[in-house]
A and B are shown apart, each in its own frame.
Chain A
Amino acid sequence: MFTRTLYKTNVLLALALGCIPVLGSCNRASEGAEITVLYYAGVPLGQMMREEIPAFTRATGIRVTYRELPYDAIRQREIASITNRQGTYDVIFVDDVWMSEYARKGYLVPLDSFVTASKVDMNDFFESARRAEAELDGRIWLMPQRADVQVLFYRTDLFADPQHRRGFQQRFGRELRVPETWEEYREVATYFTDYGKTSGQVLWGSGETLKRPHFAFEFFAMRYWSMTGEQFFSDGGAPLFASPGGIRALEFMRSLAPVAAPGAANWAHDETVSAFSQGQLAMAPQWYDFYATLHGDTTLPIRNRFGVALVPGTRVGPDSVRRTPSIGGGSLGIAADSRKTQAAWRFIEHMTGPEFMARAALRGVIVPRRSSYADARVRQQNPAVDVYLQSLEMAWFRPRLVDYAEIEAMIGRAVSRGFVGEATPAAALQEAANEARSKLGTGGGM
């Protein structure tokens, strides 16, 4: 009797346990009023979205479960969820360099029909942001939400100091000014590093951000583009970066090693920005997004003593300098395994819409909509916004490759090796080009 009861209980328990995933999938299958959003942790835009969710739910009736992950973990989690068809997330954060992989591997729902139906004015987005963060192969995959761009941070007090102006003039035979070309940049960096050594001050001419692979690649890219005027790969997928121009660009980077702050070979953003904020660097090419952080902090030693300018470039004519900052940003997309695409789109439309973006711009977030900068208060909050907007206009974007992460690692490793002298720039780039050719010729693709 007891055994029979036990048997029945076990069968019922097994059925109940077996039903849980089935019920779960039934729930996911329905076009419900609850979506899950996965976003990048620790950024102001995430905080703003969290604050905005109650208003969004009131307006639409769609409940939102908002989740955040550190940048390093987010891509891996998204891909695992989508490829296993878990349907965990409906709206996902996508970095611009992941777009090709996500779109071409089928991780995203194309947004063209949603954009058309909602009559979204895509022309309100900056063209560079649209191309880098939304459009690929003639389709719209993502809605841009944040567009960052590289600029040059510099110490205004040092450049205005009569002693330095005289000293620089005597040594280089020209006026000390914010560098326009990379050669001028190296001269200014040399001057201030030498001044730091002789005066005993903790000061270096430049702060490079070259931790491999990510940072090494992105800060090499802006030199490479300006010195060669070409992308890293041809339209057919052939690597171009081991060309004489590419080698020249890496040789230039190598020549910066003696005048850059020690540690540059292993610095990520936070180290460079921290050194600059403490007044240890005369110049530092960096992403514009850090301007808001530095500008808003009243406790920093460089308070009111720094500015931002266009990144230097390569002279291509008597009055023409080719400047090629990189654009980088984040967008929102709909996960391919989402069963609530309509609700997900409503969320994306709201969080990338002109009203929300304008409010974000007022809080110092660098948003990719033109209309967001119409409000005069944005300039009060963000006095260097014109440099940002000008930089966006001239920005280049990193290669659109399905195997971007791997290619970035190859080139980043080569840059790091060339910078620290582990290999000659030519040998390092050639090795990376051979690896890239092998990868793209077989498993990869543009």
Chain B
Amino acid sequence: MLHLRWRRWRVLALAPALLWLGAVSVYPLAVIVLQALRPGTSRSIRLFEAISDPHVVEALGRTARLVAIVVPIQLLVGVAVGTQIGLLQRGRTVVLVLVALPMFVPPIAIGLMWRFLLEPTRGPIASVSKSLFGLTVEGFSTTTSAFRNLALISIWQWSAFVAIVVAVAVATTPRSLLDQAFLDGLTPAARFRNVIWPRIRESALILLLVQTLETIRTFDLVYVLTQGGPGTATELLSFLVFERAFQFNDPAGAAGAVMMMWGISTTLMMVGLFVFRVRLSGRSTVYV
């Protein structure tokens, strides 16, 4: 009897949270699904139209290319910088705060700042580059430079996040282990592989997943910097969704592309979590 009452009470206690979840998550999801299932201009539904739309497919390819370039570099840079910070004996907090600065700046402000810095005629980088090396900065004026600079800014912005997470994980490594590895004559690479990597591996896997999803969602930078141009160089999937939903006033068309993004993100997340679980359950060689 008491057990039943307790169960009922637990359901009641959870009700506000469930209602809230329903309102902020399930309801919008349902609206988007319904929009995506609406009939399209042909005999198909909007979701299938989105999947077969060449612009959406091309934007998906561009987004995948950005992920393939940005995420590995973010992880490499973040792990390298984060490891060095984590190993610092003194001043670690100050360095962490300095490294974290790009994360405190709103993405719109970051976009505006880089738009100014990389402006080919009056930007400071263009001036210095021209006067010192005679080189012209292309900024966002060509398809190649626009995509490259978008990737670079994204790497700059988010490597800091990776570095902080890694630094915190590295900082938990007992000093005695590092000293022991040093005394055993291990090379720096071997020390990293055997002492540090096992402690940051799980964090790195999670970061890989998070940064992949974050890069797929890249929107603010494109909106501020290029509006998808020049040509279609920076027309990413999230920008296409925004364009359809808010500029073309076509929520059903946008919903089709959103469903596609969801499908890809959810698949990636499930694969990532599966790999994560396998790695966690496997035996790891930790230098102890």
Q: Which residues of A contact B (CB under 8 A)?
A: 76, 79, 202, 204, 210-213, 216, 261-266, 271, 274-275, 278, 280, 403, 405-406, 409, 413, 416-417, 419-420, 422-423, 438, 442-443
Contact = CB atoms under 8 A, between A and B. Distances in A.
- Interface bracket on B: 20 to 34
B122 interface: yes
Interface stretch (B66-74, B89-97, B223-231): B223-231
Given A271-B119, A278-B122, A405-B247, A265 B41 contact: no
A280 B227 CA distance: 25
Nearest to B250: A406
The secondary structure that dominates the B interface is: loop
A409 B247 CA distance: 9
Interface of B: 41, 119-122, 136, 138-143, 146, 225-233, 243, 246-250
Given A403-B248, A442-B41, A416 B229 contact: yes
Query: 6 closest Cβ contacts across the A-B interface?
Result: A422-B231, A265-B230, A262-B120, A212-B229, A263-B120, A266-B140
A275 B122 contact: yes
A266 B230 contact: yes
Contacts, number: 89
Contacts of B138: 262
Given A262-B141, A405-B249, A409-B248, A416 B230 contact: yes
B122 A280 contact: yes
7 contacts: A212-B227, A212-B230, A262-B138, A265-B142, A417-B231, A419-B231, A420-B142
A211 B227 contact: yes
Contact of B243 (A204, A261, A409, A442): A409
A211 B229 contact: yes
Given A265-B140, A405-B249, 16 more contacts: A76-B246, A211-B226, A262-B138, A262-B141, A263-B121, A263-B141, A266-B139, A274-B122, A403-B248, A416-B229, A417-B231, A419-B230, A420-B231, A420-B233, A422-B143, A422-B233
B226 A266 contact: yes
Contacts of B142: 265, 420
A293 B249 CA distance: 34
Give the residue among A202, A213, A416 with the most B Cβ atoms within 10 A: A416
A264 B227 contact: no
Contacts of A274: 122
Nearest to A271: B119
Nearest to B223: A72
Given A212-B229, A216-B229, A443-B41, A202 B143 contact: no
A213 B227 contact: yes
Nearest to B225: A266
Contact of B248 (A264, A405, A417, A438): A405
A96 to B, nearest CB: 17
B119 A212 contact: no
